[in-house]
Amino acid sequence: MKIVVGLGNPEEKYFKTFHNMGWLAAGDLAQNLGVKFKKRECEAVCAEANLNGEKLIIARPLTYMNCSGRAVKQLLAKHRAAPEDLIVIYDDYDLPKGHVRIRPSGSAGTHNGMRSVIAEIGSSNFPRIRIGIRDAEVNIPIINYVLANVRPEDYELFVAACGRAADAALALAKGEKCELVMTRFNG
């Protein structure tokens, strides 16, 4: 079993913000697998797929970003999954816009949603897929930036990045070695 969680904020007004890149990538993954988000459980909306005989849960927490860990902890407990069965997709201000970076484990960096996940599950030993959102031309406080809508001229760049993140999540969920997935998708 694998659980892929796309971090974001649940209200429609946040849908096209930088902070919802994880939510959007989770949507791309579900669409690629032909499944829909129709099941609400553990403070998340979930889609289920079958990958080579194993269950895959794709989840979008319904908590706000800074409380994402609550939903993740509940999902792991309900499905009796370990942190190693988890893959988290999220935006990262520390990466240039449009870049995708996969890591097998690590710290939360500056991301409060990931801080919540790590604190709630008591582990940082799970793969994460980060979608870069930093634009060197924009100089506003991070909190204002991450909650801003993606600029129209950057929309296609972020659509492509979310698609790559979804493809990387699928590769990890299928059991491909993280190092190989990193080689294919980082950058």
Which domain CATH number covers 83? 3.40.50.1470
- Please say if the pLDDT value at position 2 is more than 90: yes
Q: Which residue has the tokens 């949603």?
A: 113
What are the residue numbers of the active site?
A: 19
The fraction of the chain above a pLDDT of 90, given in percent, is 68
What are the residues whose beta carbons fall under 8 Å from the beta carbon of 28, sequence distance 6 or more? 162, 163, 165, 166
Give the integer Cα–Cα distance in Å for 25 and 134. Answer: 17
What's the pLDDT score for residue 187? 67
* CB hemisphere CA count around 88 (13 angstroms): 35
- Please say if the pLDDT value at position 118 is more than 80: yes
* CB hemisphere CA count around 33 (13 angstroms): 27
Q: Domains in the chain: how many in total?
A: 1
Domain holding 23, by residue range, is 2-185
What's the pLDDT score for residue 122? 94
pLDDT tens-digit series, residues 22-43? 999 999 999 999 999 988 999 9
pLDDT tens-digit series, residues 140-153? 777 777 788 888 88
Q: Of residues 131 and 144, which shows the higher confidence score?
A: 131
pLDDT tens-digit series, residues 150-175? 888 888 999 999 999 999 999 999 99
